[in-house]
Amino acid sequence: MLVDRFNGAVRKLPVWGVYGIGALPLASVIWLAVQGNLGGDPVGTLERDLGLWALRLLILALCISPLRRFVGMNLIRFRRALGVLTFVYAALHLTVWVTLDLAFRWGEIFAALTKRPFIIVGMIAFVAMVPLVLTSNNWSVRRLGAAAWQRLHKVTYLAAGLGALHFVMLSKVWKPELIAYTAVMVVLLALRLVPKGRRRTALV
Amino acid sequence: MPFRPDNSLTRADVTPKQLWLNRRHLLLGAGAAFAAGPGFAQAVKSPFSTTEEPNTLEDIGSYNNYYEFGFGKEDPAAYASSLTTTPWSIEIGGLVDKPGTYDLADILSQVTLEERIYRFRCVEAWSMIVPWNGFELASLLNRVGVQAEAKYVAFETVVRPEEMPGQKTAALDWPYREGLRLDEAMHPLTILATGIYGEPMPNQNGAPIRLVVPWKYGFKSIKSIVKISLVADMPETTWNMQNAQEYGFYSNVNPAVDHPRWSQASERRIGAGLFGGRVDTLPFNGYADQVAQLYAGQDLKVDY
């Protein structure tokens, strides 16, 4: 069956390859920054690009389970790398915000964290990812037990929803890009609501 | 021997622009020289200009909000070349003595072009310094004769979806509309700009003619104007129609009045680089001395 051959091939790919590919956008943006080629507003561009990559990686991570469940493609091995990369990009996005955008203006930073809903939403999304990244290792799965670990990692859905909401709330108009991200996120989260009674089936 | 370029020339060797343009004038004739843009080389310097260093033309022309050409900051530079800016005329009407459709060349033939180096502050909390070339809106309004009942000036941007692809979306309610109270419109700081750095206005900056009201958030400085109307009632303005809670009619730059979603207390300077940090936003974008009196008695938290 086609999907079995796919799964067989994929088993041979190294996980570090995902980390390598996932680091490429970061390397690219650092290169552009060093060259001074981020345009007239390098801070805004950097902040936005890091945030968008976090969202994209999270979307990719959220595709893995539905692909296995509804299509039979098994990419579970790569999910942890995608999740960890999501956290790294989100952490860099937050770091740029604090150090370059608000430039350590602590009064404004704390005002933003307490008064601006879109910032609060983003911050909750980030904080929610901390226990997830800390438990993204085999030791944690063993300590917690698979069932508890899986329950904890459902917090991913909260982080994902809030991440998309953060993006919506900071936008001024519903541009096509925003509509696309929101729609994809809604679909991926909604797929989790499909009742689990059915056996896993492959299309081919 | 490999070719080595001569690097001994310095800025001091550059032919002064005035001289260079005058030579072209002699070679090509008066008409051709003005084809490059009326009178930019002769733009009069103004005491209203700031002494701060202007942004580069590259920055000014590559970082724009002009949704008619797309939603990204780089989109207007990429797509605005599709806009045809000649011929161009402005329909001036409403409560004026001499309504009519005025050809742009006709309008410009009766004004003195000045260089106005202004601070420009976007509502998104970024800012630039732009060396506009333009003339006071008041001179055009006086030419057409403002009638006593007129209280506001309304402006409209051109609508050409075939040249401005963003207008095929419903992101904003086209045409882009803006308005000023009459005293704001007649204020000497308020200009209609036709160029930057002595060059004709780049399309992405609102060619061929746009408003600049430097003490207000940038979206009030409407671009590519085709209609000016003198009216008695406060006109509709696009961003106010889009979200009245966030974008008021006045939209004066005010660090004490936050946008509902973000602070207006500080701004990022375009061109300051990765480590440029932020600067404190000034009341009325630093033009308080010239304009604060227009709002005496108004609560600027209500009239935002």
pLDDT of residue B27: 45
pLDDT of residue A200: 54
State the best of B124, B263, B275, B281 to mutate against chain A, taking most chain A CBs within 10 Å.
Answer: B263
B285 within 8 A of B121, measured Cβ to Cβ: yes
CA distance B147 to B270: 41
pLDDT at A5 over 60: yes
Q: How many residues can be counted in chain B?
A: 304
Question: Interface pTM (ipTM) of the complex?
Answer: 0.82
Residue that is written with structure tokens 């008066």 in the block: B30
pLDDT of residue B168: 93
Which residues of B, range 19-78, sit inside 8 Å of A by Cβ?
A: 55, 58-59, 62-63, 67, 71, 73-74
pLDDT of residue B40: 61
Report the first-to-last Cα separation within chain A, whole angstroms.
6
pLDDT of residue B285: 97
pLDDT of residue B29: 39
B97 within 8 A of B234, measured Cβ to Cβ: no
Which residues of B, range 217-256, sit inside 8 Å of A by Cβ?
A: 242
pLDDT tens column, A115-161: 999 999 999 999 999 999 999 999 999 999 999 999 999 999 999 99
Q: Tell me the nearest-neighbour CA distance from B5 into chain A, angstroms.
A: 24
pLDDT tens column, A68-109: 999 999 999 999 999 999 999 999 999 999 999 999 999 999
Nearest-by-CA chain B residue for A47: B274
State the best of B58, B71, B280 to mutate against chain A, taking most chain A CBs within 10 Å.
Answer: B71
CA distance A119 to A181: 19
Chain A neighbors of B278, CB-CB under 8 A: 101-103, 105, 108
DSSP state of B260: S
Report CA-CA distances (Å) from B153 to A92, B24, B166, B186, B217.
Answer: 47, 40, 26, 10, 17
pLDDT of residue B34: 41
Helix (H) or strand (E) holding A61: helix A42-66
The share of chain A scoring above pLDDT 90, in percent, equals: 82
| φ, ψ at B231 (rounded to 5°) | -135, 165
| Averaged pLDDT, groups of 10, chain B, 304 residues long | 55 60 46 46 86 96 96 94 97 97 96 96 97 97 97 98 94 95 98 96 97 98 98 97 94 95 94 93 97 95 92
CA distance B166 to B95: 32
pLDDT of residue B268: 95
* A203 — pLDDT class (breaks 50, 70, 90): low
* A49 — pLDDT class (breaks 50, 70, 90): very high
pLDDT of residue B36: 46
pLDDT of residue A11: 85
Q: Determine contact: A111 vs chain B, CB below 8 A.
A: yes
SS3 call for B64: coil
Residue that is written with structure tokens 């950097």 in the block: A46
pLDDT, averaged across chain B: 90
SS3 call for B212: strand
